[in-house]
Structure 1
Amino acid sequence: MLKTSAHLVRNIHSQIAEQIGATIVRGEIGPGEQLPSEMKICQMFDVSRPVVREAMRILTGKGLIESRAKSGTRVRPPELWSHLDPDVLRWRLATTSLDSYLQKLFELRNAVEPAASALAATAATPDDRSAIAEAMDGMAAATTNDEFVNADIAFHKAIYIATRNELFWPIAQMLEILLRRGFTIAAIGDHRARALAEHRAVMQAICAGDSAAAHKAATVLLGNTVDDLQRIRTYGE
C-alpha cells in the first residue's frame, strides 16, 4: 500500500512538472518571468505544498527554473536549459515546426556523426560491431516502415555507443526521440535500396577499422538523407 501511494505521489509531481515545463518551453512564461507563488500553484492544481515543491525540483533539475529567496521562482534563459533531457526535448519538438526541426537535426548530425563513425572504427569492441551489424540486418529484413525505422535508429545509436567515449553517449540516448520523426518521413521514399547500401558501407568501414572510410561513408549517407527528405517533403511520396 505504501508503494502504491508513493507511486501516485510521484505521478502527481510528474504531471505538474509536465504541464508547467511545457508551458515554459512554449514561451507562455518567458525568460526572467516569475512563476506563480507556491500557494497559487497549490490552488491551481489542488495539491499540497510538498507535491509542488517536488515538481519545482524536477524543473530545476532540467535547468528551466531557478528559485531565489527574494525574487521567487523565475524562468531561466533557454541557453541554460538541459536540452538533452528527454522531457525538454519532447516539449521543444512539440513547439518547433517540422522544417526547423529537421534543419536543426541535420546540423547536429553533420557536426558529429561522421566523426563518431570514424572514432567507432578504431574504438568499437566486438560487441559494438555486432550491434551495428545486427541493426544493419534488421534494416535489410524490415517488411514495414516501422521495422525499418526501429532498426535504422538502433544502427545510429550503436555507432555513438561504439565510440567508447562517454561524452558521445548522451547523443545516442536522445536519438530515440530526435531521429524517429525524421526517419519516419524518410522511410516512405523509394530510395531504400540505396540507403541500405550506404548504411552497409558505414558498417563495413567501422568493422574494418578504417576511420577515413567510415567518416566518408557517413558523410555521403547524411548528404543523401537530406536530399531524400527535401524531395519527399516537396513532392510527396
Structure 2
Amino acid sequence: MTTISPPLGRRLAAEAVGTAALAAVVVGSGVRAAALTEDGGVRFLANVGASAIALTVLIRLLGPVSGGHFNPLVTAGAWWAGRRGGDGPGLRELGAYAAAQTAGAVVGTGLANVMFERPFAEPSGRARDGGALWLGEVVATGTLLLVVSGLARGRRGALVPASVGLWVGAACWATSSGGFGNPAVTVGRALTDSYTGIAAGSVPGFVLAQAAGAAGGVALAGLLFGRSDRTAVVPEDARDLVPGPR
C-alpha cells in the first residue's frame, strides 16, 4: 500500500507539539508530585505513570501525521532502517525533526515551569553522573529502539503506542538513571530545577549513553528480525513510525 505523507512543515509541527506536551507532562507531574507528598516512591510512581500515559496518547494521536517520534534517536532509527530503500526520512528531515523535537522539549519544560509559578528557564542543579547511570541510559534507550524497530520490522506498527508507553514506564523503574532515553527531553529537563531536572553538565554523558544504546538497539533489531518488508500492508494510522514518502 502506498501512502502520501503530510507536508514536512506539518510533520515538524506535530513533532514539536508532541514533544512539548510530553516534556510538560514529565516536568509538570514531577512538580505536582513533589508538592503533594514527601514519599519518594509515591512521587516517582505518579511521575512515571503520567509520563507513560501521555507518551502512549501522543503517539496514537500524532503518529498518523509525523510518525509520533518525539525523540531524535527514534527518528535516527527510522532513517537508518529506510536509508537504502528511500522509504524513511532523509538526512535533511532527520536534522529538521531533531531540531523541532528539541525546541518542543524546551518550550514544554518552560511551560510546565510557568504553570507552577517558576521561571520559564530555570537551570537545574541536579547532577546525574557516573558509569552506573550511563549504563542505565544505554539499557533504557537500547531497548526502546529495539521495541520500535522490532515492531516496525515485524509489521506490527499498531502495537507501537502501547508498547512504547509500557516500556518507558518499566524502564523508569528498572534502570539506575530513571530511563530518560530521549536526548531532546534530556536537554529540556536541564532547564528545570525541579524533581525531574538534570544539570547541564550531566547532559552530554546522558546523550552519549542514549546514542550508544540506540545504535545497539537498532543493530539488535536487525539481527533478530531481519530487514523490514515494506511491501506488506501495515496499519495506516501507525505509519510504521517511519515518516517520508512510500
TM-score by length of 2: 0.31
Q: Which has the higher helix share?
A: 1
Structure possessing the higher relative contact order (Cα contacts under 8 Å, 6 or more residues apart): 2
TM-score (normalised: structure 1): 0.32
Q: State which structure, 1 or 2, has the greater radius of gyration over its C-alpha atoms.
A: 1
